[in-house]
Amino acid sequence: RGNGILIQYSNNGGITWHLLKELHFSAETSPQYYMIPLKDPSALTNSTRLRFWQPLTVGTDIMQWALDDFFVGGMIVKPNVLYDPLMQVPQPDAWLFWP
């Protein structure tokens, strides 16, 4: 638990931070996927900031975490609508594998 990270949000420019989730360090080397819903209504503003904070580390130049493909938004897991008429070149924002 000492090497975990805190995912926090602020809606007042970073003066105060509120905890969304604590991710605990594990010795796994494979990627882990997390979906963290913003259930608190105070987090749903156009001025909300997110931060990933690791308050304690083993030492300098020793990294335990890597962050990739960070997404903030709607339904990435189950989109409401996926529309592409397939009559012309595929719409690049609709297909992850194009081109």
The residue among 43, 54, 39 whose CA lies nearest residue 5 is 54
Whole-structure pTM value: 0.62
The token duo for 68 is 């990739």
Beta-carbon contacts of 29 under 8 Å, excluding residues fewer than 6 positions away, are none
Domain ranges of the chain: 1-98
41-77 pLDDT, tens digit each:
888 888 888 898 887 777 666 666 777 777 777 655 5
Rounded to whole angstroms, the Cα distance separating 36 from 83 reads 26
Residue 15: pLDDT band with limits 50, 70, 90: very high
